[in-house]
């Protein structure tokens, strides 16, 4: 069976696998044309499509790009996509949901079995491939911490009052907050590093396709979605 994993957003990516191996990858981004935002799609086989005006047009372009693979393999393809994750504000989450729905609509029609797209939250697909304590371990490996409380404690240990003589309280607070941020690794940053670390070993053929189409962060996430879908 073919599986198409998607990381859907205005800048995003996709990975097509067959029996767990990457056979195609894609990356899209936005640019401005005639004062309007449009999408450009780049495939790992060198094909490009620009000037796509809507998420639906982008989805249809992806459908055309992978239709040959689907035809060769009998029309059996499962589409899996990351869904809007908890923590986004309502407006952003709704916008992403609308974008994702418009994007996958044309693609899922490729499946001869007419299965609906599988939607998965980021924390769920990550649990299938990331290390158990990946956030903490990734932060430690880069000399940072996954806890803002720990970051603040490190600030207190590293703080040298003699370097800030004559500085007001508000400015001191700003400097301390900035230092704490430098010690703290966000979950998104850690996830990006972890995906690039583990996905090439779980999805054969992935690195060469990523190098051809770009968009490493998004394509590796899409590979994680495809890998998760192959296990459900």
Cβ atoms 215, 160 nearer than 8 A: no
- Enter the pTM of the model: 0.90
Consecutive H or E run containing 26: strand 21-33
Number of domains the chain is built from: 2
**CA–CA dist 136, 165 (Å, integer):** 35
Is residue 81 domain-shared with residue 167, that is, in the same domain?
Answer: no
* Run means of pLDDT, 10 residues per run, the chain, 232 residues: 95 97 97 91 96 96 95 90 76 86 93 91 96 97 96 95 91 95 96 96 97 96 98 89
Taking CA atoms, 204 is separated from 47, 67, 78, 96, 209, in Å, by 22, 22, 19, 30, 10
Query: If DSSP codes are grouped into helix, strand and coil, which group holds residue 3?
Result: strand
> What pLDDT does 86 receive?
58
Q: Does residue 139 fall inside a structural domain?
A: no
> What pLDDT does 16 receive?
98
* CATH code of residue 57: 3.30.420
Taking CA atoms, 146 is separated from 65, 69, 115, 126, 141, in Å, by 40, 41, 39, 17, 11
For 105-141, the pLDDT digits (tens) are: 999 989 888 899 999 999 999 999 999 999 999 999 9
Is residue 156 domain-shared with residue 208, that is, in the same domain?
Answer: no
**CA–CA dist 148, 189 (Å, integer):** 14
Q: Does residue 58 fall inside a structural domain?
A: yes
Query: What is the span of the domain harbouring residue 169?
Result: 147-183
Is residue 70 domain-shared with residue 168, that is, in the same domain?
Answer: no
**What is the C-alpha end-to-end distance of the chain, expressed in Å?**
13
Sheet bearing 21-33, strands edge to edge: 48-52, 36-43, 21-33, 12-18, 2-7, 77-82, 118-120
> What pLDDT does 180 receive?
96
Q: Does residue 40 fall inside a structural domain?
A: yes
Is residue 173 domain-shared with residue 208, that is, in the same domain?
Answer: no
């Amino acid at each position: 069976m073919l599986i198409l994993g998607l990381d859907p957003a205005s800048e995003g990516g996709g990975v097509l696998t067959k029996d767990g191996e990457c056979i195609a990858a894609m990356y899209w981004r936005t640019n401005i044309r005639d004062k309007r935002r449009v999408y450009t799609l780049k495939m790992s086989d060198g094909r490009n499509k620009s000037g796509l005006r809507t998420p639906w047009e982008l989805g249809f372009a992806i459908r055309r790009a992978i239709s040959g693979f689907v035809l060769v393999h009998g029309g059996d393809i499962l589409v899996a996509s990351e869904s809007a994750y908890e923590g986004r504000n309502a407006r952003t989450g709704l916008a992403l949901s609308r974008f994702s729905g418009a994007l996958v609509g044309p693609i899922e029609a490729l499946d001869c079995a007419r299965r609906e797209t599988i939607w998965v939250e980021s924390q769920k697909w990550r649990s299938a491939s990331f290390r158990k304590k990946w956030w903490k371990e990734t932060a430690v490996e880069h000399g940072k911490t996954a806890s803002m409380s720990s970051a603040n404690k490190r600030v207190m240990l590293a703080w040298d009052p003699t370097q800030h003589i004559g500085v007001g309280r508000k400015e001191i607070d700003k400097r301390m907050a900035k230092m704490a941020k430098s010690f703290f690794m966000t979950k998104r940053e850690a996830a990006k590093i972890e995906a690039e670390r583990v996905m090439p070993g779980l999805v054969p053929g992935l690195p060469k396709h990523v190098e051809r189409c770009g968009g490493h962060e998004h394509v590796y996430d899409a590979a994680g979605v495809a890998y998760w879908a192959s296990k459900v």
